[in-house]
Chain A
């Protein structure tokens, strides 16, 4: 679930409010959006992708709150990680989208599995 929005980073652009599929956030005039309906959050990270200021932290935990220490969070390198790794905005040139490799990963796993099964059948593991 979305845990925090760091107000010193937020520029009040409102994009996260608009882009959240679950309407979790409320716009605050000229201010940091309010996490108004956290219980509706589906932990999808989409708000982070649309926040150019990397002000939002979504915990992957979808069924419970987790404690977040803001100081540790700032030092952790986790803020903005999803947007960067996705190659969005200013990261487009340095972080290639390698989604096209997915199919090969599936194929390699199938081959590895078959080889593994063969070894088991032959009594080699």
Chain B
């Protein structure tokens, strides 16, 4: 495209959700020039904007006990106490700085309630804080590839400004990936801008992944809706098609697996009859989208039974992502940092989901650490913006002459392997191998060329395919059950696997237990 523009800055943040906005804020507070690009709109995009993240908010003297409690719950290792302490400390320090931007509730004793914030208000506050700090926000501007220097360091990114129909090259001293996890467009609320783009872009520069096998969680919603808000389902009673009550409670481990097993047999219905009156009255003021959805469907959830479904959480309330190699969320690629859900959360969550408190604290903290680190990098190393740079995308860029597949077809093919309950939840070696074969075919077809001119959709198709392959390859090679990864053919936890499992590669996939790597 000839009307390509160029921009130069100290820090480029890709993704304007929870992690990206905190990264931009932290970098700007250090005096750096920051550009933040979001695929959608910074303020409504990402899974935090549509929900209401609670943070891991623990007073200093209670932190050891909080970690003990978490470790007793998980028992599966992979997390590190030091990192848990770090996110609790950062969160404790940062949330109150949004005073004046978010209407924090005052408790009866005069203290403020900081730990939980409603999504749209939270992201609006973060955006306003960014704007006040001079962050340049580029909305509707998906990054389509990273740029690299000849020595392999990241140099910036190429954006496609989809409402202006224009490409933009942003050069920066360092790049922070904050593109979120991915649900493979499952229908999970607010997740559809998150298509694994950051995963693919990082891999194209040589980054690896960790914990991708922990990607089999599902979340309940009323059938035909995306309202995966769990709070009200804590009171749910479930019934099969014959009206028999199912003995499934929100508070048991792997309740999504139990529901999935029932859904494989037939429809499942839910009643919220046990919700106390006062909570019914307050629901619209707590989570307004929940009663809005019921009302518009014409459902009275307290009196009638309604059909439910499960939406895949993928790597969002799963755990895996880009492998972190340093304390500031370095990826191993010089100048490239990974934050929030696009990064692995194993260090703070272990093998069970960090949704509910840990993930938000991680997104905030990892964002702040990397924001400060890149601001520092810009000071010490400078922008290098006169040096030549190269694009790094290899797949999903077109080549339509020999096209074998469209983006739409590729996404459908990926979803057919990664979304069905029987394949993703009830994992076995043969099923995973079959799915990997199918995904391999899709990847090869994409490599030959994609039909269609939409560069964003084409790259998304490639990213979803690549990410699905890493998830299933890791799931295949972790021949045990541990936390979220449950193998029907390996139901026991095996001490030989008490280590993080790295996975990577674009054409040729590889895996390696991290512990072995240390002994190399």
Q: Check A45 against B191 for contact (C-beta < 8 Å).
A: no
A75, CB-defined interface residue at 8 Å: no
Q: Check A86 against B120 for contact (C-beta < 8 Å).
A: yes
B282's partner among A46, A88, A98 (CB-CB below 8 A) is A98
Contacts of B140 in A (CB 8 A): 18, 23
10 closest residue pairs by CB, A with B: A21-B40, A109-B234, A85-B288, A46-B44, A98-B285, A60-B293, A99-B118, A21-B45, A42-B192, A100-B105
A112's partner among B117, B191, B192, B235 (CB-CB below 8 A) is B235
Q: Check A101 against B282 for contact (C-beta < 8 Å).
A: yes
B274's partner among A40, A96, A112, A117 (CB-CB below 8 A) is A112
Complex interface: stretch among B48-56, B63-71, B206-214, B391-399: B48-56
Closest to A22 in B: B192
> What's the Cα separation between A82 and B227 when bound, in Å?
14
Closest to B234 in A: A109
Contacts of B52 in A (CB 8 A): 99, 102
Q: Check A113 against B49 for contact (C-beta < 8 Å).
A: no
- Can you list 15 pairs linking A and B with CB atoms under 8 Å apart? A18-B163, A21-B40, A22-B40, A44-B189, A46-B44, A46-B49, A60-B293, A62-B225, A63-B187, A85-B284, A87-B285, A99-B121, A109-B234, A112-B235, A113-B251
Q: Scan residues 67-124 of chain A and give those whose CB is less than 8 A from a CB of chain B.
A: 78, 81-82, 85-88, 95-103, 105-106, 108-110, 112-113, 117
> What's the Cα separation between A124 and B441 when bound, in Å?
57
Contacts of A56 in B (CB 8 A): none
- Residue from the set A21, A42, A86, A98 with the largest chain B CB neighbour count within 10 Å: A21
Q: For the complex formed, measure the closest distance between the CB of B257 and the CB atoms of chain A, giving whole angstroms.
A: 18
A55, CB-defined interface residue at 8 Å: no
Q: For the complex formed, measure the closest distance between the CB of A5 and the CB atoms of chain B, giving whole angstroms.
A: 16
Q: Check B44 against A19 for contact (C-beta < 8 Å).
A: yes
B241, CB-defined interface residue at 8 Å: no
B296, CB-defined interface residue at 8 Å: yes
Q: Check B50 against A44 for contact (C-beta < 8 Å).
A: yes
Contacts of A23 in B (CB 8 A): 40, 140, 162-163
